[in-house]
Chain A
């Protein structure tokens, strides 16, 4: 999950690096995407880990930018031990030598995990999903497909979308009638990309772009938008706070967030211990209870309460028609598609 608030996280990073430099070396620095997601991680992973092992954790947040990590690794002055990553960044960073190749024997049996959650340099923390969320008070009727997101007559009002090509183009194609299994095939062609942007043109004046995961619930609750793409966990947190927000699961796009260890991390041994701890089914279960993201440990899935399970991206009814984010595609195409998106958005 991408962004939180850039400036705030910059400050936090500066503070924590300062803190990490002056405090005892044994503290493990863990960087995540912040917000309610980080709060859930603190409850499920950080606090119990410190209690069990005595190792203190310095928790901080960032926006997913790889520049800082690259700069730290190249300068051989790494202050981060464990980093939460989205899949394309993990794959790219792994190839470019930013992340340690993980030794699974220090973490847990491979068979316990969803196979696609494991990669050379990363191990899945949870499954999250980008869904269509809407304000039930502001909308007459119930949207049932991405075509409804584009239907300005049936559902008048502004739409929120994540600023960037990733997911935005996929949803445009889905709304244009492309089948989920053909989305990335279509997007791989020039005509497919043009088709996606043409579809986006239809609602462009009505789009309010967001960058941080915490924004869509706010925009929806404040009535600034009537529908928005959103991370399912953030919407669930807002529901808990009593906001009347709803999720449409049809054709959601899911992906993993993973743990990675930057090359040259100062406390590698403790970093491994932490990842192993956070990958245990009982801890992942607590996490899913805090924020409805699905566990990557298969044993964890079995432990989850039925009420919670229905809200997870991994629930069978939510998985139906869902689209797995194609990491390989985005590793390859993010450069040119993001450029084209920027050009399109700025016009």
Chain B
């Protein structure tokens, strides 16, 4: 469409021309609508399966509904509180009243769990306090609460409530970057013995990078080899690449465990050959993870490389050689640059897939090899802290987008797309 409008004659001032122009425009609009209607199902499908889940995920990472759901009135009152001295009796009364209302319901449990996340021990504080409600007529809410637990007489306790009395929180995102909001409301780094996620994210990138490079080093010669064979041989070789690709990941991972364990085939072979006299530790450490990840992701490197190499005409190389350029130099100057789109596509594919890997490191690695997705699964399944799981996913998602942006800036996606044809 844009091409069409670009070739349109420049607008003229005379009246009949203008009406022709408006007619043209209308026709163009109709066309646009028709195209739009055609892609509508796809757009809706993408919205439902792609955009909406990601948006929901991102929202979940900042969602903070527990306190305002459980204590709407108290939350509203605390927002107007200066945070210096203890809140006034009105806040105490509202809080005690709302406590009584949600006594014994999941709403209270959710709020208690949320606060316990901030300060361990808050769950029992809430559960103990709720036992003192509802208040007897005429009793002072302040006295009853402080009597139930003296911590209600401390400003810090109320500050914690006040900090969480908003529908959104940065807590999960900060925690995924090893930061937290301290009691004074400032963002600080978590203590070194609790900090973990920055290391995990760096490790995720580092491992993905190594796997990508190894895949490239192994995949490139193989793709070249297949691409230069006659069709019949190439097809057989491609089958050999694809066959493991179609096997379940779990099966392949389990097979690696069998092969690499201390009494496994690989170790037995090494010992028979006299290369080593005791079994090497090849699994449940980084070696095992790298071997299996490279094996699983190799086809994703080979296939794009192969398709690009297949499209490179052998004429160029022949021309270079016949003009007297030495073989390696002509490969490097003539052939290699033409494979760059394949390297780019394969590298990006492997890298991004690798960043989301979960099963392979969790089965073949030690705690030192676990990547970000392991912790996403940990928070989703084990502790049911879905905010934290969403925040980690969000960080991973943003990191991937950033990386992609840098990549397209470096290689130029337009250029790439044109060359990859």
- Where the two chains meet, the residues of A that have a C-beta atom closer than 8 Å to any C-beta of B are 7, 63, 65-68, 70, 92, 95-97, 163, 194, 197, 208-209, 222, 224, 328, 331-336, 338-340, 342-347
Contact = CB atoms under 8 A, between A and B. Distances in A.
Given A70-B384, A92-B113, A332-B123, 15 more contacts: A67-B384, A68-B381, A92-B109, A96-B109, A97-B105, A194-B193, A208-B284, A332-B124, A333-B120, A335-B383, A336-B194, A338-B383, A342-B378, A346-B200, A347-B199
A339 B196 contact: yes
A209 B262 contact: no
B161 interface: no
A343 B171 CA distance: 18
A194 B106 CA distance: 33
Contacts of A346: 196, 199-200, 367-368, 370
Candidate in A67, A197, A338, A344 with the most chain B CB atoms within 10 angstroms: A67
A70 B127 CA distance: 21
Interface in B87-119: 105-106, 108-110, 112-113, 116-117
A197 B367 contact: no
Contacts, number: 76
Nearest to A66: B384
A interface majority secondary structure: helix
Nearest to B200: A346
11 contacts: A7-B359, A7-B363, A95-B109, A95-B112, A96-B113, A328-B124, A332-B123, A332-B124, A335-B116, A342-B196, A345-B367
A331 B380 contact: no
Interface residues of B, number: 38
A16 to B, nearest CB: 18
Nearest to A95: B109
Interface string B184-205: 0000000001111001100000
B250 interface: yes
Contact of B106 (A63, A96, A163, A209): A96
B interface majority secondary structure: helix
A149 B383 CA distance: 29
B382 interface: yes
B262 A224 contact: yes
A67 B380 contact: yes
Contact of B117 (A66, A70, A328, A335): A335
Interface string B361-376: 0010011101000010
Contacts of A163: 367
B109 A332 contact: no
A92 to B, nearest CB: 8
Contacts of B150: none
A283 B142 CA distance: 53
Contact of A343 (B195, B250, B380): B195
Given A224-B262, A333-B120, A344-B193, A209 B366 contact: yes
